[in-house]
Structure 1
Amino acid sequence: MRESELESLMDDVYSFCGKHEILIPKMDDDYPRSKFIDLQLQELNNRFDVVTSDLLLGMASLNPRDSKFLNLKWIKDLAIVMAKTKLDQTWSLVYLLVKLTLILHVATASVERAFSIMKLIKNDLRNRIGKEFLNGWLVCKIEHKVYATISNDAIMDRFQRMKPRRIQL
């Protein structure tokens, strides 16, 4: 694009900005970074190590839109084509990065959901719950759809078989 279309694109951008009275910053000028940007960069550097940052940059570069991949719009399309053409075996690390990109959103959402549920369960009134009890409670709350399919009789039978009880449930 730099060789053939950049100048016409920039002409269109300048024309659009002039027409709508939008100030165009001079990209060659030196702009001082704000303290806010420095704080954001410091926070990112504190949260992510070099390996994680490289992984995130690699994931961002895998977007097949506007690239040499024909008829591919989404990263899932890239994964499908790689699997069908057996490129997942030739380029195994690239395919691994594609798979990580696809599952990252689901994994992040699952962790966020678990923390939200934990905040509901372990509140100020119940702040001394033990780890084992909290873990059991979280599993039941997160997987409530699975537990809804189990009958109360089956639960009582299982509980009764765990060890002898004074009273039969």
Structure 2
Amino acid sequence: MRFSGDDRKHRLYALRMEELSNRMERSIYMWFWQANNQELSLQRLGNTRWGSHYRILLCMVDLFPSIVEVLEYIQNKGVEDSKRRQAYGLLKYFHTFDCIFYIQLMLLILGLIKNLSMALQRKDQDILNAMSLVESTKRELQNLRNDGWDSFMDKVFSFCEKHDAEILNMEEDFVDSKRPRQKTHITNLHQYKVNCFYTVLDLQLQEFNDRFTEVNTDMLICMASLSPIGSFREFDKEKLVRLAKLYPEDFSVEECLSLEHQLGIYIDNVREDKMFDNLKNLGDISRLMVETQKHLSHPLVYRLLKLVLTLYVATARVERCFSTMKLVKTATRNRIGDQFLSDYLVCYIEKELLDFVTNEIVIKRFQSMSERRVCL
């Protein structure tokens, strides 16, 4: 279908006015939001960072009245029908007992595991403190499951009363919102306490037990004995021998006995050597052992050290490196070579080290690579 010149002008004018109207509506929303919330705002959820979910839930609880007010404004004065319908649906759900219950439950669980999550993501990994936090978090989750229902429900009911949300009678029959006419034959208490509260906490505890078994926890604690921090203050010969026995294919029975004798000489040697002072991680000590040829004097200790270093592939720092590949090798770089990708990733990941590389150093590097007619 073709339009005349005037028709095209009118059509473009109408589209332009619609675009301006949408922009004005968004500007009004943003102004209304910022005017009422100068310090807090809702952030975008992160797919791999659960800490962002916790922060958003905190903001939602604190800004709940403002969120409801903005949704009511969109519902009543929104230009687009789709946005008005979305606002109506969100408002309807925000005032249900389900919404308040799950917000409070996730806020409670994420709040309990926040410190552990931050500790496990630290670059200067302190294994002993991390394992201690794991055990403390497991105990706190278990205590919450055993004795935390009443106090948790008090928070839920208090929040519902404060914000005029739906309050359910726990002794009445549970009604499924998706199938309201079908009888469930369970009470609200059974649904929210057993099917929700207990189930979620049991899943969390099961996940902790699967990831941090007794063997894994003991292995990580033994690994900490090799740490050079504080002049090797965490060094423990018995733990390191026990760690070597966990890998019978790498250490035979005779080598485990020899390792026990070699560890005493090794720790005295590195403590007396000033070059091994102020080391921060296992990577530094392995590099320095090769530079000083001590890996030849203590071959079993060096083998154990290499084995421990390979176990760090599951740490948050290494996971961040793999996540970085998605940012570097995008759809527009799908034909990038392996060597160039590796060099690019090193520059992207080791940003802190590259801060010390000045432009003059880079220019001199390229200038010395080959003879050039013009000085760079």
> What TM-score, normalized by structure 2, do the two folds share?
0.23
Larger Rg: 2
Q: Which has the higher helix share?
A: 2
